[in-house]
Structure 1
Amino acid sequence: MPFMPKKMSDNKFICMIVDGSYPQDIRVRKEAEALTDFGKKIIVVCPRKKNQAKQEIVNGVQVYRIGSNYTTVKKGINDIVESVFNINPFFYFNLKKIFRKYSIEFLHVHDLPLAGTAYAFRKKVEKGLVLDLHENYPEALKTWFSWKKSRLIRIKNMVFFNPKHWSKKEEKYCRKFDKIVCVVDEMKEKLINNFHIEEEKFTVISNYEKKNFAENFNTEVAQNIIDKDFFSITYVGGFGPHRGLDTAIRGMQKVLHQVPTAKLYLIGKGSADVENKLKDIVKQLKLENIVEFVGYRPFDEVATIMKKSNLNIIPHKANDHTDNTIPHKLFQIMMSKSLLLVSSCKPLKRIVQKYDAGLVFEAGNAEDFALKVNNAFTNYDALKYKTENAYTAVMEKGENWDEESLKLLKLYDKLEN
């Protein structure tokens, strides 16, 4: 018998709060839309940037944007205040307005920095608080800012974004919230083992994609990035110290010894410090003609680039941040039927090896990266079966959002009892 969701009262809402753009945040959007599809009433509270609508309905989700023009400077100030006092004043005072206007059954906070602010409303929430941890935030702080050059910024981060300080917050709020949502099993086990919290409090809801996402690869759009004369190696996503792009760049110097037609395409952007660091490595190794910084591309074009690339890579470095989360693009690439190379970060390696869905190299090891690229080039046709395995894993073996979203629905139906 299929699982049947319980319908919420017409005037009761699940309120999600996120310190980011909506609907641009993929995870928040998928969760909010999934609950809406199952008959839940959702309000997403997020910052408003210039020229954005204050309120609108997006695919059935009520979006309530706060403020007038949420700049990086304003966010930085509120982040510092929150770090010291456990309250983000920007969100706190705007949430008070939300609670006066709506009847909130559940408050669902996305990621650790807003946990303290959400917890301040615990007595106003009718049924429960849910903390959705997108990543291992304390460990992420160790890597995100490691390439920052500004001494002032480094001092600010050391004082206000000290990983040990945030680890204590992580434990505090994991104990206080009613339910904790994690992205991967590795994160769940880490929290249970480190903080000795009961397993029943946790639900793992991964960053899978909807099966219909595969339709993006059925239509090719014009793009002038992938040159058929090269063996194309493509990375799509944000740039950062933890992404392992420096490993891939250093590996390209060795790849060229056996694959002279190889070319690395970096699709996306990063901070000025990060991009300058990567470009300095390229310059030092004299790889200007081999590594191309493409920048942002329209999404439909990115889908074509993924599909047309000979090899798509996710070269993340292995640490306590990357070992406790997983990127959406893993499952997107698996749907593209393009050959996949990932680093040995635990979740990436686990998924790829479970389904024999691609190649794995030792994280942070440029020589092993080069070895696996050379293997892909030399045995390209023989390895194509892995692309079918990847596609089947998503479409037929449950590695998709269509099935994963049921876990979120069951979580809320249990909380309603």
Structure 2
Amino acid sequence: MQQNKYEKHTILILLDGFYPADIRVRKEAESLAEKHNVYILCVRKNNDEQEEIINKVSVLRKIHYKSFAEKGIIDIRIAINFIHPKFHQILPEIIKNKAIDVLHVHDLPLAKTGMLAAQKYNLKSVLDLHENYAAALLTWFSWRKNPIIRLKNKLFFNYNRWQNYENNIITKYDHIIAVVEEMKERIIKDTSISSKKITVITNSEKKDFATIFSSVENYFFKDFKNQFIISYVGGFGPHRGLQTAIEGIQKVSKEIPNVLLALIGPANKDVKEYLENLIDKFNVRENVVIYGSQPFEKVVEIMKSSSINIIPHISNLHTESTIPHKLFQILLSKKPILVSDCAPLKRIIKTHEIGSIFKAGKAESFAEEVINIHKDYEYATKKAEIGFDIAFNGDLNWEQTSKKLIDLYDNLEN
């Protein structure tokens, strides 16, 4: 199917996950739905509606996993031939019934499935890469102890196999979306495709996120009101750098006795045990607390209640070419931010002088920066205010980012 420039598209987004829970996909889908017909094919939980319209986006929850085990088996099948059997089976029906002319595929595991459908039905194709998936595989499971899981990952989810697959499949798509400039540069280096075929759509936040902060009245850390709170909110994977922060707190606590490192997020048994052992190893039990996952409204409360919000990522192939949503959310909180010097984080913070930076993986450097912020908290707060201004009035917000996404679709034939 051919479209004239600026003509309205009918887009089918593929997501092997839940909607609208995926923040990045929701923002993209809603922005595109302002101008185009947007459908999203995604996963259904047991109590979810199979079909509904959310903010002009037609949600088709046609993918259902009977159990966690079934999902694991399908993941292995994808790793063998890179085709998702459930998406592959249902795509022809949806493409025909909804008169789809563009497939927008989210992340590497669905890339071949989407490309086969795009080629068969002569659709335009966009591959949206949230991260360096192959590199992430090197990191995600390194703390897992189960020998069966470790063997499965070694056989089916090894870096070289998935990196070669990415390099090959990328060249077949009409357009690629990268999450940061560093990812765009890596893709060009690895595949030699034209830079014109890649658009950077970063994980910036909508400006109205700031109004959520302004409406928060509760203080999350009620039991620690007189303490200097350093908060981390997010996943607890090995690449997140929590081990660096825990070790660094040992030195920080000697200079700031009332410091408290709060770690908030989901953690499986192996990860929780690993972190608990580190807390004991560095004798910081009184200065570190691990919370479980918190609802969204509590996350906002946590960021606003904190003295410092941190993103302590270690440096590896994965973290050097991705960016977390919480960076932009923290900027809208008006609270000081401390990040590691992974390239995307360092570039944004240093370019705008809106926070503090420490050397990734270096506990001594982490501790020094925390102590410096504490010593001149007024200066740290001023930088945070500049960060808010740039995130709200400047370019670091979704209202500006989404313009590039719309422009991509306006010029998809080029």
Q: TM-score, normalised by structure 1?
A: 0.95
Query: Match for 1:188 among 184, 209, 226?
Result: 184
In structure 2, relative to structure 1, the CA distance for the partners of 1:412 and 1:402 (3 Å cut) is same
Instruction: After superposition, give the CA deviation of every residue in 1:397-416 in whole Å (9 maximum; x if it has no partner).
Output: 21111011011111111115
Residue 388 of structure 2 corresponds to 391
Residue 255 of structure 2 corresponds to 258
One-letter amino acid of the counterpart of residue 156, structure 2: F
Distance 1:302 1:231 in 2: 18
Task: Report the 3-state secondary structure (helix = DSSP H, G, I; strand = E; otherwise coil) of the residue aligned with 1:98.
Answer: helix
More displaced stretch, 147-156 vs 194-203: 194-203
Matches within 5 A, 1:82-231: 82-225=78-221, 227-231=224-228
Matched, 1:301 2:288: no
Cα displacement (A) at 1:97:
2.6
* Sequence identity (%): 45
Q: Check conservation: 1:99, 1:124, Cα contact below 8 A.
A: no
Instruction: After superposition, give the CA deviation of every residue in 1:260-290 in whole Å (9 maximum; x if it has no partner).
Output: 0100011111222212211111122232221
Q: Check conservation: 2:63, 2:87, Cα contact below 8 A.
A: no
Residue 238 of structure 2 corresponds to 241
Q: Check conservation: 2:6, 2:411, Cα contact below 8 A.
A: no
In structure 2, relative to structure 1, the CA distance for the partners of 1:86 and 1:210 (3 Å cut) is same
Q: Tell me the matched-pair count.
A: 409
Q: Check conservation: 2:7, 2:410, Cα contact below 8 A.
A: no
Residue 52 of structure 1 corresponds to 48
Q: Check conservation: 1:221, 1:301, Cα contact below 8 A.
A: no
More displaced stretch, 95-104 vs 25-34: 95-104
Instruction: After superposition, give the CA deviation of every residue in 1:167-220 in whole Å (9 maximum; x if it has no partner).
Output: 111111111111000000000001111221111111111100111111111112
Distance 2:275 2:121 in 1: 46
Cα displacement (A) at 1:238:
1.1
Instruction: After superposition, give the CA deviation of every residue in 1:49-71 in whole Å (9 maximum; x if it has no partner).
Output: 11111111111100001244453
Query: Match for 2:407 among 387, 407, 410?
Result: 410
One-letter amino acid of the counterpart of residue 331, structure 2: M
Distance 1:100 1:397 in 2: 42
Query: Match for 2:274 among 259, 264, 277?
Result: 277
More displaced stretch, 384-393 vs 23-32: 384-393
Gap runs ≥5 in structure 2: none
One-letter amino acid of the counterpart of residue 337, structure 1: K
Q: Check conservation: 2:137, 2:157, Cα contact below 8 A.
A: yes
Gap runs ≥5 in structure 1: none
Residue 349 of structure 1 corresponds to 346
Instruction: After superposition, give the CA deviation of every residue in 1:126-158 in whole Å (9 maximum; x if it has no partner).
Output: 441100000001111100011110111111001
Cα displacement (A) at 1:47:
1.1
Residue 287 of structure 2 corresponds to 290
Q: Check conservation: 1:306, 1:338, Cα contact below 8 A.
A: yes
User: After TM superposition, where is structure 1 displaced by more than 6 Å over at least 4 residues in a row?
Assistant: none
Task: Report the 3-state secondary structure (helix = DSSP H, G, I; strand = E; otherwise coil) of the residue aligned with 1:384.
Answer: helix
Q: Check conservation: 2:220, 2:298, Cα contact below 8 A.
A: no
Q: Check conservation: 2:41, 2:63, Cα contact below 8 A.
A: no
